[in-house]
Every structure is written in structure tokens, then in C-alpha cells.
A and B are shown apart, each in its own frame.
Chain A
């Protein structure tokens, strides 16, 4: 089953990469762009009985390694 883990910086955690991209967007003429944040998407396959079990596996992996919960939030989607 295909699982997609979204990892993003927690609100309030500074995202220098997002800031730099925002500046670049402004210099390209997209003056309206603001609050740019860069996140990470991890796609993977897991062996699981059903979608719920696959989602649980994804969450376990996020907690163990894919996200650092000190600075990041995550959510998991099962893609059927």
C-alpha cells in the first residue's frame, strides 16, 4: 500500500528556506506572496492488511525517524 507522509515545520518555527524563496518570488514580481513555508513529502510502500494499518505504520515511521517532533508536525495519507 502506498503511504504519503507530509512533514512540515511547526507554526512559529523559523523557516529560513521559506524566507529565501519568498524573497525570490518577490523579486520575480510576485509581490503578493507571503508566509512561504517549505515542507517535505515522503512517499513509501508498506505491507499492510488495510488502509488503517498502513496509516498507523506511516505514523510510527514518522515518529521514529521521518519527522522531528521538536520542530516538525506531520500527517499521513494512504493513497489507494
Chain B
């Protein structure tokens, strides 16, 4: 598998992401600068976390219109795999490659803590490392993670099994209106979604930061083993 990680001015989790891929594949993904205008030859493009362009205007808004995102869009339209984490998820929604938008956290506070996620997505390489319904721990670190979309869009995402991950308790219970469980106030506790062809995935929390025992756990590893098994 040849993976590329896009770096915008203000991106800061690209090395964490590269390390997670190194752990499962032994190979280091290539870093791609945002001014590059093609991503040919890659199997997977990753948009990592950070604060691209200082989060000015709206989180991810400026990055969504950078030269490399035109190339990433073409790549995705041809069936390429794209993963966006945190700011990467925000960029994918701003680029309208994923539905919905990420608003300011409902409690207004930047949230830097662990959360629990339930695996709900079906038929996707981004969830195949887990069993449907599994619960895992993941760190989160964001100010704008409050997922929103029109009710009919949410219905459609749910109906098509395109809600990849939801916030839940350690025991796997969802509580939409409980700020200790659905901490950022996301609609229907949605933490991650899939595109129509299931090859583009965005999520707010950071599985890449729990991929080695030295990081206090390997709860996030199945994201990467699932991708590896699918793409070789």
C-alpha cells in the first residue's frame, strides 16, 4: 500500500499518523505539501489533524480550496481511498466530499480527553478491522467537532450504514443529550461518516494516537490493520 499524508500550513498530527502506518506496515507514508496538484500513484490519501490555515474563517475552509484538494477530489472520484481525521474531517466536509458540517462544540470548550466510540459503519475498509458494534477508546482534541446535517441527510446516512462511528459510553450506550458521552453535541452522536461509495471516511477523534502500548494502548490499531489488510 502506498499512502500519502497531506500537510497544510498548521497541520500538526502528520507524524502521529505516519507512525501509526509504520506500526502496521513497516513503511513510512509520503508527506504531500498542500501546493502539490496531483496525487497519482497512491492507494490512500490521509488528511491528518491540526489547524490548517489557523482555522481562519471556518475550520478546514481554506484548506478545502487548496491545489492538492482538487487532486484529492479527482482521486476520490476515480475510486481512491481517503481518510480524514479531526481537521481532515472538517476539510472533507468543507470540500463537500462528505455530507454535513462540523460546528463549534456545544459546550463552547475545546475538548482534549478520551472518548469511546462504537463501530457502526458497514462494508468499509475503515471499519473492517473491528467487528460491527465494537466499542473502543480514542483520544479527541478539537474545538469544532459538533457534527450537523439536515435530518433527511442524517436519516440517509443511518439507512445506508454510513455512520462509521458514534460517541458512546465505555459500555457502548449512546446518550445524545449527555455532555459526558456525546461531548461535543454532535447530531445523533455521530463521530465519523462514510461517503456514498464508502471509500472516503472522516472522523473527529484520533485512533492514530492509540496504536502502541507505549502510548497507553492499542485501541485505535484496528483502523490501520483494516486498511492494511484491504490495500496490502
Contacts and interface: CB of A to CB of B under 8 A. Distances in A.
A22 B161 CA distance: 38
B108 A68 contact: no
A68 B65 contact: no
B108 A70 contact: no
B22 to A, nearest CB: 35
A70 B101 contact: yes
Contacts of B218: none
A55 B74 CA distance: 31
Contact of B103 (A64, A65, A66, A71): A71
A14 B144 CA distance: 13
A41 to B, nearest CB: 13
Interface residues of A, number: 12
B65 A71 contact: no
B225 interface: no
A66 B61 CA distance: 9
Interface of B: 57-58, 61-62, 65, 93-94, 96, 99-101, 103-108, 146, 148-149, 185
Interface of A: 13-14, 16-17, 19-20, 64-66, 68, 70-71
14 contacts: A13-B103, A13-B148, A14-B185, A16-B103, A16-B108, A17-B108, A19-B108, A64-B65, A65-B61, A68-B61, A68-B101, A70-B99, A70-B149, A71-B103
